[in-house]
Structure formats: C-alpha cells, structure tokens
Structure 1
Amino acid sequence: MAEVLFYHLQRQPLEAVLPVLITRSLERGWRVVVEVPDEERLAALDDHLWTFSEESFLPHGTEKEGDAASQPVLLTTGRHNPNGAQVRFLAASARLPDSVDGYERIVLMFDGNDAEALVAAREEWKRAREMGLAATYWQQDEAGRWIKKA
C-alpha cells in the first residue's frame, strides 16, 4: 500500500524542493511521475528541471515527446502512470489519484502561502484517510529541514 506524504511548502517554492525530492527518488531506484494540472505549468516545470542547477539537471520527458514508458521522470497533466513510476508527485493543486496501486509513495506538495491550496490540501488529507491510506504531514523548520508534524 502506498504511503501519502503531504509537503507544506512555506519557506521554499516547489521549484526549489521538487528537484531535490526527485533526485532522492531516483537514488532509491524509483521511477517518477510528476502531475501538474495544466500545460502551462507543465512547460514551466519542464524548462526548470533542465536548468535548476549549473552543476546538474534532471533527465526527464513529457508525454508529448513520446516514448513515455522509457522516461525515468515523466511530467504529465494526466492521471495515469505511463512510465510505471513507483512515486508520484502531485503539484500545483493536482489531486490524489483514484487508485494508488503500484506506487510506493504519493507526494502531494502544496503552497502554504496560498489559501486555496491549503483548503485543497485539507480536502485531499481527508480523502486519503477515507481511502485508508497511511498519510503523513511534513513542514519545514527554520533551518529548512523537513519535520514530520502528523
């Protein structure tokens, strides 16, 4: 059964946190799918993952580029798992999938400075619990470390 992690972003934006978490997932040998709600956000994230660091980049693709199944990291607006990922990142108000079968981990990342995102995250927390999923809530401390709050 997949575990669901809720990441409350307050000190750093998605663009700073997501590459680190994707890198850690790849180091575990997991394939990754990142879901965003629209094409505009997908294009911005696609560009960012190639340029977020002067020292490195994250190899990834989008469904539009074809051969989605071979991508270690796939960006999508869809609800499916075309690359057989073990971890799914949900960003920019993307919602939990109806089925978490096949995933080791689902990571829902939300902007703690956005009132609508907070409401949506609370709804998804309730939904995760109703689905019987093991959900945990993480928030950054002053030093930028992730602390488990619930």
Structure 2
Amino acid sequence: MTRVDFHSNVPDKLAYASRLVRKAYMAGNKVVVLTADSEQLAALDAAMWTISPTDFLPHVAAGDPLAVHTPIVLTDNMDVELPHHDILVNLSQLPPVNYAQFQRVFEIVAMDEHDAQAGRQRFLHYRKAGMEPTHFVAGKT
C-alpha cells in the first residue's frame, strides 16, 4: 500500500521540494515530481540546479529520452509514461490520478490559505480512498 505523507506550512514549496528530493535521491530512491503547470516545472528545474554549490540533482522532464536512466523526473502531467514508481512529490493542487502506483507520496502544502485548503481536500481524498496519511508541520520540532 502507498504511504502518503503531508508536509504543511511550507514557506517555499520549490525550495522545500528540492531539499526533499535531494534527501530521497541521496538515500538511493528514484523520484517523480508533479508540478501544477509548466511554469512551476521550469521554476523547479531552475531551483534544482541551484540548490547548493556542491550538490548535483540529476533530473529531466518526463518526456525526455533519458528519463528512464535519470533518478529524478519532473512532470506537470500524470498521464504520461513515468519510468519510476518509488517516490512521488506532489506540488500540484489536486491528488495525482495514479498515486497508488508509487510506494510513497509526499504532498507539499504551502502556508497560503488557497494552497492549505487544496491540501485539506487532498488529505480527505486519501482518507476516503482508505489511506491513512501522516502529517508533518514544517518549522515545528
């Protein structure tokens, strides 16, 4: 069964997602990141190139021929063929259609009320599907 983890109260979704992806990649996982749209995808791509002077996060877009060989795949469309099914990081406002094919899903929820409300709806969606999502509030110890 897929494990779903919510990370809420996130001040900067792209920076947070980049750090989360770095941690998952360093642990040997393959990661798919779902963005809300192509604009957010481009911004995430740029953020991953500048995460730190010493880290390299090998990533490509889902349609790239190298996607099958690249541990981090970025997409704004879950209807495409995805090469990996370890971890899905969701930055979009909706629950991913094919989330159950992943071992683990991270839902990243920003601090603003619009994103928080969308996050609550996704949380309820998973609950109705029989999942028991966990919840982590960023910035709290």
User: What does the per-residue CA deviation read over 1:51-77, in whole Å, with 9 as the maximum and x for residues that have no partner?
Assistant: 121121211111343332222000001
Supply the distance in 1 between the matched residues of 2:128 and 2:51 (Cα, whole angstroms): 37
How many aligned residue pairs are there? 140
Q: Closer, same or farther in 2 for the Cα pair 1:131/1:76, shift >3 Å?
A: same
Question: 2:51 matched to which residue of 1?
Answer: 52
Q: Aligned residue for 2:116? A: 118
Please list every run of 5 or more consecutive structure 1 residues that lacks an aligned counterpart in the other structure: 146-150
Specify every segment of 5 or more residues in structure 2 that has no aligned partner in the other structure, as ranges.
none
2:14 counterpart letter in structure 1: E
* In structure 2, C-alpha distance between the alignment counterparts of 1:43 and 1:83, rounded to whole Å: 20
Shift of 1:18: 1.6
Q: Counterpart amino acid of 2:9?
A: L
Aligned to 2:3: 3
Alignment partner of 1:139 out of 126, 137, 140: 137
Q: What's the secondary structure of 2:85's corresponding residue?
A: coil
Cα RMSD after superposing both structures: 1.8
CA shift in 2, pair 1:71/1:50, >3 Å: same
Distance in 2 (CA, whole Å) between partners of 1:43 and 1:141 is 26
- Percent of counterpart pairs with the same letter? 25
Distance 1:141 1:49, change over 3 A: closer
What residue is the counterpart of 2:69 in the other structure?
A: 70
Match of 1:13 in 2: 12
Q: TM-score, normalised by structure 1?
A: 0.83
Normalising by structure 2, we get a TM-score of 0.88
Tell me the distance in 2 between the aligned counterparts of 1:117 and 1:9: 10
- Paired with 1:103 and 1:86, the residues of 2 have a C-alpha distance of 5
Query: Offset at 1:118?
Result: 1.1
Contact 1:30/1:85 (CA < 8 Å) preserved in 2?
no
State the alpha-carbon separation in 2 of the partners of residues 126 and 101 from structure 1: 15
Task: Report the 3-state secondary structure (helix = DSSP H, G, I; strand = E; otherwise coil) of the residue aligned with 2:7.
Answer: strand
